[in-house]
Structure 1
Amino acid sequence: MVLELKIQYKSLEYTLQQGLEQTWQCMDACGATDGHLIIFNRDPAILWDNKIFRREAQYHDHPIVVWGM
């Protein structure tokens, strides 16, 4: 299992693209089939409830679960 942690600096979509690629690279390097990308949004103007999400993504035909916090 691979866990990739990212801090959101630009847009969520930008961080998501960068994070999915990095997660997949780690999965490929170690032969993992489970990947999780965790994105931390540190913007104090956004309510905590609006930061929390879970979605499933595909990158190079590999499923990666994306968590927002």
Structure 2
Amino acid sequence: MRFEGLQIITVVLENGETGMFIGRPLVPEEYSDEDCQVEQVWFSNIQELPVEMTLGQLMRMVQQQLCRCRSTVQ
């Protein structure tokens, strides 16, 4: 069985609303606070996903999205 590391990022807005984002680890445990200060935050468009989508399919979709973003952002 292959394992995939996931990390949950929770964002709390000033109005009290909370959002949770699950994805590949953004901050490894060995990083200190000085190593991982947030510089920018981008949000994608909201995408409708099939309820039956597996975690593996979701991770592949996210990886493809990241590859496209990295190739267009300089």
Give TM-score, length-normalised by structure 2.
Answer: 0.28
- Give 1 or 2: higher helix fraction: 1
Higher relative contact order (CA 8 A, sep 6+): 1
Give TM-score, length-normalised by structure 1.
Answer: 0.29
